[in-house]
Amino acid sequence: MGKTLFDKVWDNHVVDQLENGPDILYIDKHLIHEVTSPQAFSALKERNVPVFRPQQIVATADHNVPTLNQHLPITDELSRNQVAKLRQNCEEHNIELYGLAHPYQGIVHVIGPELGITQPGMTMVCGDSHTSTHGAFGSIAFGMYLYHKEKVEKKGKDLSTIIALTTWNSKSRKIFVGTFIGYGIFFSLVSGTLVYQPEVNFAIHYGATIPSGFIAPCCDSPGYMPKIIIYLTEHVGLQIIPINLVLQVIVSYLVGLNASVVVNAYAISKKGRGMSTIGAATGLFIACPTCAGTFMSVFIGTASGIALSIALTQMQTLFIAISIPVLLITPYIMAKKLRNTDGSCKIDPTK
């Protein structure tokens, strides 16, 4: 069977494969900036470890710097210190720096492709959530999430570390991503963000141009305006409401987290299974009243289920608000069940 471009690049960079664990990849290029690099340099200094191949690292100051008048002092003290620390660390470790006033200074994920730093077939990392955008140029690029990584590496015994260890392995991350995306799409459908009306032709009934979109600045309650209406096809559209969008992201993330925890807890204890399942189910049904009504219709009849669904939908925002603290608390309850008597985690994060 033929390989995709992703498979080819990935396989070409595998250094080692852990048994029942993740692949270890060789990284071609590391991009750094002033916000997330100080922590890494401090960790190296504490361990007395030199920077590995500094010639493969490129630094720029881009997060806390002014677009104009860069010759003037940075007024914010924290930003000024971060930029100064980046310059100091790069000088100490002989790393290429495109700092203020340098002609190549710019947004780290823009100058990469502009300067030819980003190239097809590369593997790249950066301490920034937008790193994956380099994939558009045929590379595999990862954003490194510092808090999660720090918790895993330090292997502490607090509940947040137990959760981090539990969700660090490849299996948990796949479950999280799948649940986050799947629940997000499901939430979009039931909350009206993603609209599908096969019986209505938007072009005919609403006189809409396909495709097109517009912003409706009024009139509704705070949090529900402005609405963004997008007509994708004659029957499919988007209705983006600010409060629904925020809640969709938050609840989808928490449901994904609970789902990844429940898979690990399932193999540990029956009591753990019950608690985690409650957390995931609570998020699913409270955040999605239509789902609850559909589910209940199996037991109480379709008509009653529809009536219940309508009643619940009218209170959807309230139910979602209730579900958020439940989904926040449940992983910590689960973490207690996944902790050994000495405080360490029962889950091996490499498996």
Q: Which of 145, 117, 122 is nearest to 135 (CA)?
A: 122
Q: What is the structure's pLDDT at 298?
A: 47
Q: How is residue 27 written in tokens?
A: 């990284």
Q: pLDDT grade, residue 205 (50/70/90)?
A: confident
23-25 and 14-17 strand pairing: antiparallel
Structural domain spans, the chain = 5-144, 158-185+251-338, 194-240
This prediction's pTM: 0.50
Q: What is the structure's pLDDT at 281?
A: 52
196 vs 77 pLDDT, higher one: 77
Q: pLDDT grade, residue 348 (50/70/90)?
A: low
> Is 274 a residue whose pLDDT tops 60?
no
Best mean pLDDT range from 15-19, 41-45, 288-292: 41-45
Mean pLDDT taken over the chain: 76
- Residue 249, SS3? helix
Q: Which of 152, 117, 112 is nearest to 128 (CA)?
A: 112
**Backbone Cα Rg of the chain:** 24
| Contact criterion met (CB below 8 Å) for 185 and 256 | no
Unique residue bearing structure tokens 């100058």: 111
Give the burial string for 291-326 (b: 16+ CB within 10 Å, else e). bbbbbbbeeeeeeebeebbeebbeebbebbeebbeb
- Residue 156, SS3? coil
Looking at the domain covering 5-144, what would its CATH class be?
Answer: alpha beta
Helix 170-191 / helix 289-300 crossing angle, nearest 10 deg: 80
pLDDT digits 0-9 by tens, 157-176: 565 665 666 666 667 777 87
61 vs 183 pLDDT, higher one: 61
DSSP conformation class of 33: -
Q: How is residue 229 written in tokens?
A: 């209406």
